[in-house]
Amino acid sequence: MKLFPSLDAKDRRLLIGCLAAVLVLAFVTAFLSRNENNDDNTVPSSYLTGRHGARAAYEMLEASGYTVERWEQPLSDLAQRADEQTVVIFAEPDQGDIATEDLKAVRDIAARGGHVLVTGWVGGGLAPDGNVQPPSQFQAACKLAPQGLDPLADSGEVWMNPEAGWGFEHPLDRVQYNCSGTPAAVEYTSGKGQVIWWASSTPLENGSIGRANNLDLFLNVLGSREGHHIYWDESLHGETRTEWFYASGPTMWMLRAGLVAIALLILFSFSRRRGPVRDLPAPVRATPVEFLEALGSLYAEAKASATAVELAYERFRRRMGDLCGLKGAKMSAEELAAALRRRFPQAAPELEKDLADCEEAATNDKLPPKSALALVQALSRHSDLLAAAARAGPAHR
């Protein structure tokens, strides 16, 4: 290893000391940092194993042969692939404001025939044409009473801690369970799909999925294993994205800060003795006048006076064609002069002659440079005068 031998003794001791300090701080911070997997975390994420997490439900679906995956990309991407076999679980989305594009994506999923399960107060706001209401009673465990005639209401005894209610203004909303007269499980049609709302995610959480028939309610919402693809949304759970989320917090910040400090130390220890002795000279760049002189000398050596006139005349013809409303038209000098005279009656008297001379000079390989210069200057004058007349408008013609 060439890094350490290339450093002097003081630099090596400094680098080793910094590495040791970073490792000690990392271990200390890891023991003192908060645990996202404890029972105080109320996010029903499929990654969390605490009482309110939903990892047990997710792994149960995997072990039972369901086609299930976590979704952590934008919901608009999921909406594009949704169909009648799609089932999406939105378990207690993040408490922040729901973006407009997320609302549209959920609506599109249902419109394409997908089945959507949303839970809680924020989840009710995410539901297409939702009618979520603030909770009307103390949030405590409630044994739900079946109300509907659909298979969902026949799941059996269900317990839930309601966090919101549902209004009665929509006659097509089918209340499957209620808690003390307040809807707690509602099902309705949206587009080609179905939307199911729960007052909370209690039936699918680790600590309560095994209580009474909560699991049966959850499985009845998902439907059969065959022909369904289940997406458990994690994109709306704040910073929860991957397994690396549990290594986040002070530990990772300390490690990142330590790595940056080490990189700066290595950079300074080398650059202070191995930097350039003097600044590099600035590259010499030709001025615009020098460029024009070089271009002119090339035309002169190639005896390409006719080419210069041809290029100037072609540019003039395209520009004047645009002014006359004849963009892209292939016109002779006579036709171009006639079109310009109709458009600009006040054009210079020598316009026709100059255009005819330019057309003839473009094919004259023995054209003297002075004659070519005179023709190019004449074209430039005509171009400026006609452009000024076009800007002035009809009143000045």
Q: Are 79 and 105 in contact (CB under 8 A)?
A: yes
Angle in degrees, 0-180, between the axes of helices 9-32 and 250-274, rounded to the nearest 10: 170
Q: What is the DSSP letter of 197?
A: E
CA-to-CA distance for 240 and 44, rounded, in angstroms? 11
Which helix or strand (DSSP H or E) is residue 14 part of?
helix 9-32
User: Closest Cα to residue 86, out of 109, 65, 58, 106?
Assistant: 109
Exposure of 68 in the CB half-sphere (CA atoms within 13 A): 22
Residues belonging to the chain: 397
Residue with tokens 């909370």, as numbered in its chain: 200
The per-residue pLDDT string of the chain (397 residues; one tens digit each, 9 = 90 and over) reads 465 666 677 777 877 887 888 788 777 766 655 555 666 788 888 888 888 899 999 999 999 999 999 998 889 999 999 999 999 999 988 766 678 899 999 999 999 999 999 999 888 889 998 889 887 665 678 899 998 788 888 899 999 989 888 988 888 899 999 988 889 999 999 999 999 999 999 999 999 999 999 999 999 999 988 889 999 999 888 644 445 555 556 667 777 888 888 888 777 766 555 555 567 677 666 666 677 677 677 766 766 778 888 888 888 888 887 777 777 677 788 888 888 888 888 888 888 888 888 888 878 877 888 888 888 888 888 888 888 888 776 644 5
**CB within 8 Å of 275: residues ≥ 6 apart:** none
CA-to-CA distance for 69 and 67, rounded, in angstroms? 7
List helix spans (H) across 176-249. 214-222
pTM, to two decimals: 0.54
